[in-house]
Amino acid sequence: MEKYEKIPKGFKFYGTHVGIKKKRKDFGLIVADELCHAAAVFTKNTFCGECIPIGKENVKDGKLQAVVVTSGIANVATGKTGRANEYKIMEKLAEKLTIDQENILPSSTGVIGPQLPIKRIEEFLTQEVLELEQNYENFAHAILTTDQRIKVHSLKVGDATILGIVKGSGMIEPNMATMLAYILTDAKVDKEVIYPMLKAAADQSFNTISIDSDTSTSDTVAFLASGHYDVEQTALQAGLNQISKELALAVVKDAEGATKTMFVTVKNAQSQEQAKNAGKSIINSPLVKTALFGNDPNWGRIAMALGKTEGLLFDQNKVEIYYGKYPIFSNNKEEQQNSNNITTYIEQNDEIYLTIDLHQGTESFQVIGCDLSYDYVKINSDYLT
Amino acid sequence: MEKYEKIPKGFKFYGTHVGIKKKRKDFGLIVADELCHAAAVFTKNTFCGECIPIGKENVKDGKLQAVVVTSGIANVATGKTGRANEYKIMEKLAEKLTIDQENILPSSTGVIGPQLPIKRIEEFLTQEVLELEQNYENFAHAILTTDQRIKVHSLKVGDATILGIVKGSGMIEPNMATMLAYILTDAKVDKEVIYPMLKAAADQSFNTISIDSDTSTSDTVAFLASGHYDVEQTALQAGLNQISKELALAVVKDAEGATKTMFVTVKNAQSQEQAKNAGKSIINSPLVKTALFGNDPNWGRIAMALGKTEGLLFDQNKVEIYYGKYPIFSNNKEEQQNSNNITTYIEQNDEIYLTIDLHQGTESFQVIGCDLSYDYVKINSDYLT
C-alpha cells in the first residue's frame, strides 16, 4: 500500500517542537477541511486532565474539525490556570486555522502537576506559519512520551479509508502513560450513530487491555469522519473494530519494559462482564505478570488471580486452565503430563495464550496484558537519573 | 519481659522438619491443654486451599484445641486427593494427641498445585514422638516460606497475656505468599463474642494491608482463648486490636523486596469504606509503588490512583494531598514551595506517611502498603535459578 493511500480524504496533519519537551516534537494537529461528524470516549479517572471536560463539551454535538495535542506535560491537577491555558491555545488555533474553537478537541499527555509553558506556546502560535501536511508522521511523533515507536494502522472499507494513530505507555519523565488514539475516516457516518459505533469498537479493544492497572487521567479515543464516501455501516463498523483492536494491541506491544504479551480468554462464563472481570484480574496480577517474565509455568498464580475476582463464584471441579492448547488444570487436579510442553511453549513464544473455561455459561471475553519486568520498575522509579 | 512471660497459659507448641521442604522446618503445631473458645477468619479467594473449608467447618461451633500447619506446599487446587490428605494428617494427630479431630484447625502454605508428600508425613506421625514445647520458636519457624524472619508479638491485659504469631510474604518457590496468623490468649472469652472480637480486630489490621494486591488462597487468622483469667472485654478487645495491628505491620515490613512502608490515611470521606477503597487504590498502584522505590515525590501518581478509585467521586478543588506534614496539592494546584522538603522527607525515611483529605465527610481510614522494587520482580520471576 502506498503511503498516501493510507490517509483518508479531507484530513491534514502537523507536528513540531514548541518547547514543552527539551528537544523532541511536542505539539501536534489534525485538521479536517470541513466540519466532521465525530465522537470520543474519555478516561473514567475522576482526577482527570483539564482537556477532558473541554473535549467532552466540544464533541457533545457530534461535530469536530480539529484535534490539538500537547505532550510532555499532562495539564492535570493544574486548576483554573491550567484550564485557562488550554483555552488560550484553542483560541489562537481557531483564529489561525479559521475554524470554530468549539470544534477543536484538545489532548495533553505527560507529567501531572506542572503548568504548560503557555507564553512559549502562544509566541509560537503567533509567530509561526502552521504548514499542514498530507503525511501523519510528524503528528504521530509529536504525541509520544516514552513510546518506543509511532503506532499507526489503516485499512480500506469499500472506497473509504480508516486511519488510526495511537500513543500509549512509556515514560521520559515520572508520570503515568496516557493513551491517546485518533481514528479518521473519509466515510460518511451519521451524527446519530458515530458515538455508538466508537463505543462498541472501544469496548472490544481499548477497554480490554491493561499494562499496569493504572488508569491515566488523560485517556482519549476520538473518531472523526469527513464524509466523502458512502459505505455500508456494518462494513464500516467491522473496519473500525479491526483498527481499534490493532491500535490497542500496538499499545500493549509497546508496554513499558514488557517482554511478552498475554492474551487471556475466559470462556463459558455467565456474562461477558463476568468473563472480562476474571480476565482483568489475571492480567493485572503482579504475581502472574512476574511469573510470565520469568518464563515460569506457574498456573497456581492464575488460579489464585481467578479466585480473587470480585463477585465471581465458581466450582473448582469444573474450571479448566490452558496454556496455548495444553490443559494444565482440569477435574480439580494438575495435568502434570503437559508441564514440559507448557514450559517450552512459554519459553519459545512472545505471545502467550491462556484460556480459562469456567463451564458455567456461554459467554466469552478476551483481554490482553503483558509481563512485569525489571525494566518496568526501572522506567518508573528512575526519576533523577 | 522474660521469654516465658510472653506465652499465655494453657498452650504448647511444636515445629520440625518432616520433608515437605528440602531442609527447613515445615510442620508446626499449637496444642491447648483444654478445649478453647475460638474464632477464625479466612481468605475470600474462591480458589481456596483444601484446609479452608475444613477449618471453617471445625471452628463453626466456636471451639478449637489445636492448630496444625504444613509449609512448602499450599495444598490448593489438589482436589479430592488433597482433601483426603488433609484429613489423614488430622486423623493421625487426633489419635496421637488424644483430642477430637473436629477441634483441629489445619493450615497450609507454599506452592499451589502439587500434592503433599502424604506418605512421608504419615510415617513421621506414626513413628515420632511429638514433644510439645513451652516455647513458640520452632512453631514460628515451621510456618515460614520465604519470610525473612519470625514475626511474634505479645502483650498483657490485666493478668492475661495475648500472643500473636504471623507469617506472610516471601517465596522459596514460585507461588504467592500466604498470610497465616495465630493469636492466643489465656483470658476467658465467651463463645458468643469471640468471632465478633476477632472480626473487629482483623478489619482494622490484617484487612488494611496490601503487599501486591494478590489475595492468597490460604489466608487464615485464628484466635484461641484458653480461659484462665477474667479480663474486662473492652480491655481485651483493645489488646487484641493492638496485637493484630502489630502483626499486620510486621507482615508489610517483611514484604517481598520492599525497601519502604507507606501509611496512607484518607480523611474526611463520606464513609470508612470509601476512605479504605481510596487508600487501597493508592497503595496498590504500581506507579505509586515504583515512585516510592525511586524516592520520587511524584504526587501526580497519587492523584491518578485516587481518581481511578471505583465509585469514588470528588471535587478536585477540595482535595488536599500531604507527604508527612507537608501539603503538595491543595486549592487545585501544586504547593511547589514544599517540593524540596518532601524530597528530603522521602529520601530520609523508611516509613512514609501520606494523607489525602477529601473534605466531603467525617470518616477516616488508614491502610498500609510498600514499594515495588527490582527485588520483588526478582523474587517472583526467578523460578529456575
Judged by DSSP in three states, B36 sits in: strand
* Residues forming a β-bridge with A9: none
Annotated binding site of A: 145, 167, 178, 256, 380, 385
Of A77, A212, A298, the CB nearest to B300: A77
- Is residue B205 within 8 Å of B247, Cβ to Cβ? yes
C-alpha distance from residue A24 to each of A69, A75, A180 (Å): 14, 18, 18
Contact B296 A383 (CB under 8 A): yes
Residue A1 — pLDDT band, cuts 50, 70, 90? very low
Query: Residue B343 is part of which domain span?
Result: 261-381
Tell how many helices (H) and how many strands (E) occur in chain B: 11, 14
Beta-carbon count within 10 A of B168 CB: 28
Give the separation between CA B103 and CA B195, rounded to whole angstroms.
16
C-alpha distance from residue A369 to each of A151, A288, A321, B93 (Å): 17, 10, 17, 46
In this structure, what CATH number is given to the domain that contains residue B234?
3.60.70.12
Beta-carbon count within 10 A of B165 CB: 25
Which chain A residues touch B377 with a CB distance below 8 Å?
A: 290, 293, 372-374, 376-377
Give the separation between CA B166 and CA B148, rounded to whole angstroms.
12
Taking 60 as the threshold, does the pLDDT of residue A176 lie above it?
A: no
The answer on B277 and B236 residing in a single domain is: no
The answer on B248 and B370 residing in a single domain is: no
- Is residue A267 within 8 Å of A361, Cβ to Cβ? no
**What digits encode the pLDDT tens for the residues A4-58?**
458 899 999 999 999 999 999 999 999 999 999 998 888 888 788 899 999 999 9
Taking 60 as the threshold, does the pLDDT of residue A287 lie above it?
A: yes
Q: How many Å is the Cα radius of gyration of chain B? A: 22
Annotated binding site of B for substrate: 145, 167, 178, 256, 380, 385
- Is residue B197 within 8 Å of B175, Cβ to Cβ? no
Q: What is the pLDDT of residue A279?
A: 95
Q: What is the pLDDT of residue A36?
A: 93
- Is residue A297 within 8 Å of A383, Cβ to Cβ? no
Instruction: Please give the mean pLDDT across all residues of chain A.
Output: 89
The answer on A209 and A283 residing in a single domain is: no
The answer on A19 and A102 residing in a single domain is: yes
CA angle A82/A87/A91 to nearest 5° reads: 150
More confident residue, A166 or B293: B293
Q: What is the pLDDT of residue B69?
A: 94
Annotated binding site of A for substrate: 145, 167, 178, 256, 380, 385
- Is residue B194 within 8 Å of B59, Cβ to Cβ? no
Contact A300 B48 (CB under 8 A): no
The tally of domains found in chain B comes to 2
The answer on A273 and A153 residing in a single domain is: no
Please spell the DSSP secondary structure of A234-252, one letter per residue: HHHHHHHHHHHHHHHHHHH
Mean pLDDT of A299-313: 89
Long-range contacts formed by B333-339: CB under 8 A, 24+ apart: B333/A77, B333/A78, B333/A79, B333/A81, B334/A77, B334/A78, B334/A113, B334/A114, B334/B299, B339/B297
The answer on A31 and A145 residing in a single domain is: yes
Residue A178 — pLDDT band, cuts 50, 70, 90? low
Give the separation between CA A291 and CA A149, rounded to whole angstroms.
27
Domain boundary residue among B222, B253, B284?
Answer: B253
In this structure, what CATH number is given to the domain that contains residue B347?
3.10.20.340
Which chain B residues touch A305 with a CB distance below 8 Å?
A: 214
Give the separation between CA B141 and CA B136, rounded to whole angstroms.
9
Beta-carbon count within 10 A of A148 CB: 12
Grid cell in block for residue A94: 481557531
Beta-carbon count within 10 A of B60 CB: 11
**Distant-in-sequence, close-in-space partners of B385: CB < 8 Å, separation ≥ 6:** none
Q: How many CB pairs under 8 A join A and B?
A: 229
Residue type, A22: K
Q: What is the pLDDT of residue A65?
A: 95
Taking 80 as the threshold, does the pLDDT of residue A78 lie above it?
A: yes
**Catalytic option among B43, B70, B78, B178:** B178
Residues of chain B scoring pLDDT < 50: 1-4, 170-176, 383-385
The answer on A172 and A55 residing in a single domain is: yes
Q: Where are the beta strands (DSSP E) in chain B?
A: 11-16, 27-42, 63-73, 104-111, 151-157, 160-167, 180-187, 220-229, 261-269, 320-323, 326-330, 333-334, 351-357, 363-370
Grid cell in block for residue B35: 478445649
The answer on A224 and A290 residing in a single domain is: no
More confident residue, A149 or B89: B89
Which chain A residues touch B305 with a CB distance below 8 Å?
A: 214
Grid cell in block for residue A195: 458515538
Residue A296, classified by CB atoms within 10 Å of its CB into exposed (0-12), middle (13-18) or buried (19+), is buried
The answer on A167 and A277 residing in a single domain is: no
Please spell the DSSP secondary structure of A80-131, one letter per residue: HHHHHHHHHHHHHHHHHHTS-GGGEEEEEEEESSSPP-HHHHHHHHHHS---
Residue A2 — pLDDT band, cuts 50, 70, 90? very low
Grid cell in block for residue A131: 504548514
Tell me whether strands B63-73 and B27-42 are parallel, antiparallel or unpaired: antiparallel
Mean pLDDT of A278-285: 92
The answer on A71 and A47 residing in a single domain is: yes
| A178 catalytic per annotation | yes
- Is residue A57 within 8 Å of A25, Cβ to Cβ? no
Residue B3, classified by CB atoms within 10 Å of its CB into exposed (0-12), middle (13-18) or buried (19+), is exposed
Beta-carbon count within 10 A of B228 CB: 18
Judged by DSSP in three states, B351 sits in: strand
Domain boundary residue among A228, A253, A278?
Answer: A253
Grid cell in block for residue A155: 485499512
Give the separation between CA B378 and CA A374, rounded to whole angstroms.
8
Domain boundary residue among B253, B283, B312?
Answer: B253
The answer on B287 and B240 residing in a single domain is: no
Q: Quick one: how far is CA B59 from the chain centroid? A: 19
Site of grid cell 487471556: A264
Which chain A residues touch B80 with a CB distance below 8 Å?
A: 332
Of A356, A364, A357, A42, give the one whose Cα is nearest residue A204: A364
The answer on B368 and B270 residing in a single domain is: yes
